[in-house]
Amino acid sequence: MIKIDHLTKRYGKTLAVDDLDFEVQPGVVTGFLGPNGSGKSTTMRIILGLDHASKGRATINGKRYCDLKSPLHEVGALLDAKAVHPGRTARNHLRALAASNKIDKSRVDEVLEFAGIASVANKKVGGFSMGMSQRLGIAGALLGDPGVLLFDEPVNGLDPEGIKWIREFFQSLAREGRTVFVSSHLMSEMAVSADQIIVIGRGKFITRGSIDELTATVQGTVFVRASDTTKLTEILTSDEGLVQRINDNGLSVSGLTSDRIGELAFSSGVVIHELTPQRASLEEVFMDLTADAVEYGSHSMGAVDE
For another protein, the closer CB: 30 or 41: 41
**Site for another protein, residues 50 to 89, rule: CB under 8 A:** 50-52, 65-66, 68-72, 75, 77, 79-80, 82-89
For another protein, the closer CB: 131 or 241: 131
| Options 1, 10, 19, 49; binder of another protein; rule CB under 8 A | 49
Nearest-approach distance from CB 128 to another protein, in angstroms: 13
What residues are paired with 60 via a beta bridge?
2, 63
Each residue 85-124 as x (binds another protein by CB under 8 A) or -, in order, gives xxxxx--xx-xxx-xxxx----------------------
Nearest-approach distance from CB 104 to another protein, in angstroms: 12
| Distance (Å, whole) CA 290 – CA 200 | 8
Length of the chain: 306
Site for another protein contains 246 (CB under 8 A)? no
| Options 2, 20, 35, 45; binder of another protein; rule CB under 8 A | 45
Which residues contact another protein (rule: CB under 8 A)? 41-42, 45, 48-52, 65-66, 68-72, 75, 77, 79-80, 82-89, 92-93, 95-97, 99-102, 140
